[in-house]
Amino acid sequence: MPRTLIGEGDAIVVGLPSGFVLTNVLKKADKVRLATAFAHLSGWKHFREGIAGGTTSVCLLTGLEYCQTDPKLLKEWFQLQSQQPKRIEAKLASPETFFHPKVLIVTFAHQHGDFAIVGSGNLSQGGVDSNTECSVFVQDGDLIKRLIFWFDIEFSRDAAVRLTKKRIEAYEPSYKRNTERRKKLDEEQRLAQEKVRSAIPLWDWEKALKGAKKYFASQKFRDEDYPSRKRGAADILKALKYPEFTFDRQGFKKFFEIGALGWLIPIKRDRIFRSATRIKNGLRALVAGGEAKLPSVLNEDGKFYVPGFRLNAVTKFLAAYDPKKWPLFNNRVQRVLDDFGYSKPRGFSATEQYLAYREAMERFMDACEDGHGGLDALALDCFFLHLSKDIEKKQVNPKSQ
């Protein structure tokens, strides 16, 4: 049964050896390298004894994106570094790119038992225990060497700065302000989720389900449509240069030209690209913050909202990035939903409308999975495209209905 770094929980580490005890392993190690997008004391407490009480050489690297790293943790790292400067070094990651890794590399004096853990969990209680996370335990020597090479480059970058008391003091006010904003945002998200769940529209579920099961069983879906969507999703991520999002004008143009997961009208593309910095920051925010960051990107009063880069473009990326979580929504999808009698909830923001749609599609996909496991947003979009073509034919030739 998969386990977490600290025992039973939802933040699983696939391949973790039986009898693994984090504290014991850290004490016996020759060197520990830890890179985490953000860090909290609640996660660090599970590492504290193994690192502070041992003789292991330690390199700690964390980011400050969205002010989520706890200053109290930074103060503890700084204290450890001050007390044992030859053994422990802590740095803040370079701000030149969006810092988002979660990597632990542990090596031993004679290379026996070297391992790395790479996954989705940050250094927090949720990241190592209670969140739904997935990491993998790696012992392949070549892969570990490559991970060490990557880490050492990040750690030695000129823009990665050594932790100092002044830097922590300069950062702390921003963290406090962001903590208050996060509390407010969390409450707004909770209320929005309740609102969404209570307002999923009624629609002709049985008709849609019957058509979907028939389509998903077809050879055309398996051999043509779905593989085409998979290639398109990969092209989208490549064009936007995920996960750094350092795309230029040509990459943005390519994103618009990719027909998979919805066609974007190019007439306003160059005007939209003038807000490229805001778009990039919005996409980074979505990757880092998920659902909580949707309002900042989709709603007109959002920090990263860009006119013209709205639900169709945003969900085109999201569906390519994580098709298990984010269904695509555009005019073609709406046309099919209209045919099934699905209407947008009234009085909802763009984010709330999308979340209500996502909730409905999650239930729909769960019902479709009988005999068709592994369905996701890419499969759903194949179905919508398939039906939209039928709808267009009926509109051109009403007698065919």
Q: Is residue 305 part of a domain?
A: yes
Q: Is residue 2 part of a domain?
A: no
pLDDT at residue 345, as a whole number? 67
24: domain CATH number is: 3.30.870.10
Burial (Cβ within 10 Å: 0-12, 13-18, ≥19) of residue 22: buried
Domain boundary among 138, 173, 208: 173
pLDDT at residue 371, as a whole number? 52
Residues 139 and 250 in one domain: no
Given pLDDT bands bounded at 50, 70 and 90, which one contains residue 196? Answer: low
pLDDT at 273 over 70: yes
Q: Is residue 288 part of a domain?
A: yes
Distance in angstroms (rounded) separating the CA atoms of residues 62 and 69: 8
Q: Is residue 163 part of a domain?
A: yes
> Which of the pair, 212 or 304, is modelled with greater confidence?
304
Q: Is residue 49 part of a domain?
A: yes
Beta bridge partners of 105: 33, 116
Q: Is residue 185 part of a domain?
A: no
Distance in angstroms (rounded) separating the CA atoms of residues 89 and 163: 8
Residues 52 and 153 in one domain: yes
Residues 78 and 134 in one domain: yes
Domain boundary among 109, 139, 173: 173
* Number of folded domains that form the chain: 2
Q: At what angle do helices 311-321 and 276-289 cross, to 10 degrees?
A: 50
Is the bond preceding 243 in cis, omega lying within 30 degrees of 0?
yes
Residues 303 and 380 in one domain: yes
| Average pLDDT of the residues of the chain | 88
Residues 279 and 231 in one domain: yes
Across the range 256-271, mean pLDDT stands at 91
pLDDT in tens, 72-102: 999 999 999 999 999 999 999 998 888 999 9
pLDDT at 118 over 90: yes
Q: Is residue 318 part of a domain?
A: yes
Structure tokens of 274?
């003038």
Q: Under a CB-based contact definition with an 8 Å cutoff, are residues 37 and 60 in contact?
A: no
Residues 328 and 246 in one domain: yes
Q: Is residue 179 part of a domain?
A: no
Residues 146 and 215 in one domain: no
Residues 52 and 158 in one domain: yes
Query: What range defines the domain where residue 137 resides?
Result: 11-173
